[in-house]
Amino acid sequence: MHVTIYSDGSSRGNPGPGGYGSVLHYTDPSGKLHVKELSQGFDCTTNNRMELLGVIAALEVLKRPCEIDVISDSQYVVNAFNQHWVEGWLKRDWKNAKKEPVKNADLWKRLLKAKEPHSVTFHWVKGHAGHPENERCDKLATAAADGEGRIKDEGFQA
């Protein structure tokens, strides 16, 4: 089963109110496209945390192992895998190259667990450049950041 995940995060201030938006695409064997949209707002968070949570939320809704393409405008998320930053963090017990604790380690660990059963490839797309699904994710993320029903980002430390 192949799924494409589009994801974006937003923060009004950094830190500030934030949200993520994700869109999942799956084409079934008959050729029918299935689309699922996810979003959530948070009272106080950062843009990078929302970028991570968008991918995490999308992975966590999948019920069986899949082949996944993650499309994100976050170089933070994409480069962590494509440039093997995560591998270095794991080798250094969640320390970065400067021997400092990795920021957002709680979410990186959650992301690793969420992607574990899947085969995941990360792709970067330029944000705000007219990519329809990325633009939709941005709208979902900003609406969640600005809207009612925001929740506390339990892992955020100011």
Total structural domains within the chain: 1
- The annotation places the binding site for Mg(2+) at 8, 51, 73, 138
154 in any annotated domain: no
Do the beta carbons of residue 105 and residue 93 sit within 8 Å?
no
Q: Binding site residues, as ranges?
A: 8, 51, 73, 138
Q: What is the domain-level CATH number for residue 101?
A: 3.30.420.10
Of the residues 19, 54, 73, 133, only one is catalytic, namely 73
Catalytic-residue membership of 138: yes
116 is catalytic: no
Domain boundaries, position 68: 2-146
Q: Which two tokens stand for residue 115?
A: 């992607």
Task: Report if residue 13 sits inside a domain.
Answer: yes
Name residue, tokens 């506390």: 152
Backbone angles phi, psi at 27, to 5 degrees: -105, 120
What residues have CB less than 8 Å from 54, skipping those under 6 apart?
7, 8, 9, 20, 21, 22, 38, 72, 137, 141
In a domain, 136, yes or no: yes
Catalytic residue among 41, 54, 118, 138: 138
- Write down the pTM of the prediction: 0.96
Instruction: Look up 69 and say whether it is catalytic.
Output: no
pLDDT tens for the chain, 158 residues long, are 999 999 999 999 999 999 999 999 999 999 999 999 999 999 999 999 999 999 999 999 999 999 999 999 999 999 999 999 999 999 999 999 999 999 999 999 999 999 999 999 999 999 989 999 999 999 999 999 999 999 999 999 87
Query: Does residue 156 form part of some domain?
Result: no
